[in-house]
């Protein structure tokens, strides 16, 4: 299966520690997105890359969050000095290089569930 | 007012029932709408995509957009226990080069065998 993959699937960390998540998009998808989802809510947008360029950042993405996509393929999301409020599912999605309305379709990975104790 | 409002349910129906899931949106400029299905502890799975208004059908699923009332619906015919999941509606960006999707909070559906 060549869907979006994320690693790790689960992460438990202590408050104040740094964590890093990885996302591998569907091959040949040039757009990559990060979302955060808490229990009982829909995903909330964090940031978006087209190739290696980070083109959008949500105000949810505080200074403790940083995302990279250095070669336009996989992406990492780092959270520094984690807080209990960071506990959530972190979802990655990708979309293909196509024009028109269907360019907005996004395909999600399984997510990384973060628990901050 | 949230941009996309969705009744959280939970909604429980018997197998074989027709299910109607609904969302409302706030800005008439929105044109792109999607429905995602999310099983417990999994990522959302794209079910259907609609552009502007009207109906779109795919097997047992029909998506409908009513721009006059700013209402989007997903109908599931002959519902199956395997349809038990949370259903998320989402709208695409309203303009420009923005790409983010804005989601409703999801409706939890259980189809009873």
Cβ-proximal residues to A43 (8 Å cutoff; 6+ apart), any chain:
A35, A36, A37, A91, A108, B44, B88, B101, B103
Under the banding of pLDDT at 50, 70 and 90, the label for residue B94 is low
Please list every residue in chain B whose beta carbon sits closer than 8 Å to the beta carbon of residue A50.
Answer: 99
In this prediction, residue B109 carries a pLDDT of: 96
Name the residue among B68, B36, B67, B33 with its Cα closest to residue B51. B33
Looking at residue B96, its pLDDT comes to 62
Q: Find the radius of gyration of the CA atoms of chain B.
A: 14
**Residue (of B47, B43, B45) closest to A90 by Cα position:** B43
Nearest to B101 among A45, A101, A110 (CB): A45
Residues 6+ apart with CB under 8 A from B99: A31, A33, A48, A50, A55, A56, A95, A104, B93
Q: Closest Cα of chain B to A71: distance in Å?
A: 20
Decide if B101 and A107 are in contact by the 8 Å CB cutoff.
Answer: no
pLDDT for position B13:
96
Q: How far is A65 from chain B (nearest CA, A)?
A: 18
- Per-residue pLDDT of B13-61, as tens digits, reads 999 999 999 999 888 777 889 999 999 989 999 999 888 778 889 999 9
Average pLDDT over residues A102-111: 89
CB A42 within 8 A of CB A61: no
Specify the higher pLDDT residue, A100 or B92. B92
Span A68-77, mean pLDDT? 93
Residue of higher predicted confidence among A104 and A67: A67
| Contact yes or no for B91/B104 (Cβ under 8 A) | no
Task: Report d(CA B19, CA B81) in Å as an integer.
Answer: 12
Are residues A42 and B45, on separate chains, in Cβ contact within 8 Å?
no
Looking at beta carbons, which residues of chain A come within 8 Å of B51?
101
Q: Are B66 and B33 in contact (CB under 8 A)?
A: no
Strand partners, A53: A50
Instruction: Write out the residues of chain B at the interface with chain A, using a CB-CB cutoff of 8 A.
Output: 4, 6, 8, 31-32, 34, 36, 41-46, 49, 51, 88, 90, 92-93, 97-106
Chain mean pLDDT for chain B: 90
Nearest CA-CA distance, residue A107 and chain B, Å: 7
CA nearest to B103, candidates B91, B87, B85, B86: B91
CB atoms B43 and A102 under 8 Å: no
- Which token pair is A86? 């960071």
Cβ-Cβ pairs closer than 8 A, A with B, add up to 67
Interchain CB contact of A59 with B (< 8 Å)? no
Weakest-pLDDT range from A70-74, A107-111, B38-42, B49-53: B49-53
Residue range A71-78: average pLDDT?
Answer: 93
């Amino acid at each position: 299966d060549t869907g979006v993959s994320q690693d790790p699937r689960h992460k438990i960390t202590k408050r104040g520690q740094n964590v890093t998540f990885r996302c591998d998009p569907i091959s040949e998808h040039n757009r990559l997105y990060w979302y955060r989802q808490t229990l009982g809510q829909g995903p909330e947008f964090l940031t978006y890359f087209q190739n290696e360029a980070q083109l959008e950042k949500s105000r949810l993405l505080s200074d403790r969050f940083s995302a990279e996509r250095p070669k336009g393929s996989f992406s990492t999301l780092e959270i520094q000095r984690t807080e209990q409020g960071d506990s959530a599912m972190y979802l990655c999605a990708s979309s293909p290089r196509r024009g028109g309305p269907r360019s907005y379709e996004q395909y999600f990975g399984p997510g990384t569930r973060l628990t901050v104790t | 007012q949230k941009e996309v409002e969705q009744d959280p349910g939970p909604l429980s129906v018997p197998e074989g029932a027709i299910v109607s899931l609904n969302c409302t949106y706030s800005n008439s400029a929105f044109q792109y709408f999607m429905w995602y299905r999310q099983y417990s502890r999994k990522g959302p799975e794209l079910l259907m995509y609609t552009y502007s208004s009207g109906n779109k059908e795919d097997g047992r699923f029909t998506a409908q957009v009513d721009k006059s009332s700013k209402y989007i619906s997903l109908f599931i015919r002959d519902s199956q226990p395997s349809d038990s999941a949370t259903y998320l509606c989402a709208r695409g960006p309203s303009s420009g080069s923005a790409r983010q999707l804005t989601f409703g909070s999801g409706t939890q559906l259980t189809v009873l065998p």
